[in-house]
């Protein structure tokens, strides 16, 4: 049975990811097997947390993932690991459903990380409010972040209930960020040293000695029929196409598909395959190199010419466009399979949970992008946003290409996912 901790905060920007990564690194240094989950539909935090924990990071979300799969993944993690860490999304009570809803549903002990850099005794009031705002919340404790020093830490500790004080961390260097979130782990050459610094700061605090456990009873896993048996699916995977949920790969394998990864950035050719998945990522940061791929345009054209499917999500869709206008105004030619032009912008264009149905069932997903698409293609449908007032993302079909800004969660409907990749 594993020790379990959900790391939350009053708001985004409090240092949750840095603390979660530091704890994962610390517990690994203690010789423990660590599994980390990320609440919500995040791609980038899981890459960082996966580096810190040494294991793939799955997502937990009561709407996107569903209660049964969340419970199953937690039960499997408790069986196979010594420590389970779960990083919240946004603030503890933000969203519908919120991280607090997840904590209550599964009995997950909550550690609140509070940015105490500009406060003293008010820290105690904030800690008290987080602990008592919801009576059924399994509150574990509070950790002060960005603390000025020992005297500051003493004032903070005195303001909080003794049983809730889990320690403090000074002003360690934050993990690098850019638009959409954290930088990729491979882009941070001294990442291990940064994590060592956070782990060193946590090692002397009460939180270093995590000793609790939660019992998870896994539901009976639903059978997934091998609708893609005998099919090979090529998947672009590199720094330009890195927004891949591990559970999506699990779903495709359960459907019977053989997965073949390749790197367009490394100018690797399109593998021999029956279908292609172009996931999201950062094509705008690598536009010139993607554009100079010597064979991809012809290979993609040959792929669809014989009736083979392409599913392109967000950044994968941008790569298929005729051009991509970058923030500096320069225009990069892209692969030209979609009669569309994309343009980056400084402001967020869309954010939120959405579902879509292309005729075989509803697939849940998420949208988050800083670009806009211009095309004369008529959408074949639109996503259904979870919240009123937000717009549904367009779904395009051009020959055997299906594309949208929505990042799909395949496990939400394996049958519809199989159809997405050409299963009859």
Catalytic residue ranges:
314
Q: At a CB cut-off of 8 Å and minimum separation 6, what does 27 contact? A: 34, 82, 83, 85, 210
Distance between CA atoms of 144 and 161, rounded to whole angstroms? Answer: 13
Q: At a CB cut-off of 8 Å and minimum separation 6, what does 220 contact? A: none
Q: For 337-383, what is the HEC assignment?
A: CCCEEEEECCCCCEEEEEEEECCCCEEEEEEEECEEEEECCCCCEEC
Count of alpha carbons within 13 Å of 416, Cβ hemisphere only? 17
- CA 206 → CA 112, 146, 202, distances in Å? 14, 17, 8
Task: Give the three-class secondary structure for 109.
Answer: coil
Other C-beta atoms lying within 10 Å of the C-beta of residue 399: 12
Other C-beta atoms lying within 10 Å of the C-beta of residue 395: 18
Q: What is the largest CA-CA distance in the chain?
A: 71
Contact present, 297 and 394 (Cβ < 8 Å): no
* Phi and psi, residue 51, nearest 5°: -60, -45
């Amino acid at each position: 049975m594993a020790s379990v901790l959900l790391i939350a905060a009053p708001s985004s920007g409090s240092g949750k990811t840095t603390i979660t990564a530091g704890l994962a690194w610390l517990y690994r240094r203690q010789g423990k097997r660590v599994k980390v989950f990320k609440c919500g539909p995040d791609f980038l935090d899981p890459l960082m947390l996966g580096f810190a924990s040494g294991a793939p990071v799955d997502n937990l979300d009561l709407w996107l993932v569903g209660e049964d799969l969340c419970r199953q993944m937690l039960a499997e993690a408790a069986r196979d690991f010594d420590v389970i860490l779960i990083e919240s999304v946004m603030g503890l009570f933000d969203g519908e459903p919120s991280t607090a809803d997840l904590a209550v549903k599964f009995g997950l002990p909550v550690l609140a990380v509070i940015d105490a850099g500009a406060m003293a005794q008010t820290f105690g009031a904030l800690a008290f409010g987080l602990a008592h705002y919801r009576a059924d919340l399994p509150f574990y404790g509070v950790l002060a972040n960005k603390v000025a020093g020992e005297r500051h830490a003493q004032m903070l500790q005195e303001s909080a209930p003794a049983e809730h004080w889990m320690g403090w961390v000074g002003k360690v260097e934050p993990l690098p960020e850019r638009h959409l979130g954290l930088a990729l782990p491979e882009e941070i050459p001294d990442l291990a040293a940064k994590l060592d610094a956070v782990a060193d700061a946590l090692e002397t605090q009460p939180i270093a000695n995590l000793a609790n456990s939660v019992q998870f009873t896994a539901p009976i896993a639903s059978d997934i029929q091998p609708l893609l048996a005998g099919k090979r699916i090529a998947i672009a995977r590199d720094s330009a196409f890195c927004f891949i949920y591990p559970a999506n790969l699990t779903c495709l394998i359960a459907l019977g598909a053989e997965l073949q990864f390749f790197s367009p950035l490394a100018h690797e050719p399109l593998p021999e395959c029956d279908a292609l998945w172009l996931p999201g990522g950062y094509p705008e940061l690598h536009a010139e190199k993607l554009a100079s791929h010597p064979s991809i345009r012809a290979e993609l054209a040959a792929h669809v010419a014989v009736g083979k499917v392409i599913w392109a999500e967000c950044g994968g869709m941008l790569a298929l466009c005729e051009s991509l206008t970058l923030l500096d105004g320069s225009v990069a030619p892209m692969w030209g399979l979609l009669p569309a032009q994309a343009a980056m912008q400084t402001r967020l264009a869309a954010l939120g949970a959405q579902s879509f149905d292309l005729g075989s069932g509803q697939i849940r997903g998420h949208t988050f992008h800083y670009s806009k698409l211009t095309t004369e293609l008529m959408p074949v449908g639109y996503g259904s946003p979870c919240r009123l007032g937000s717009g549904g993302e367009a779904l395009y079909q051009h020959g055997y290409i299906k594309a949208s800004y929505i990042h799909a969660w395949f496990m939400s409907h394996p049958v519809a996912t199989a159809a997405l990749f050409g299963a009859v």
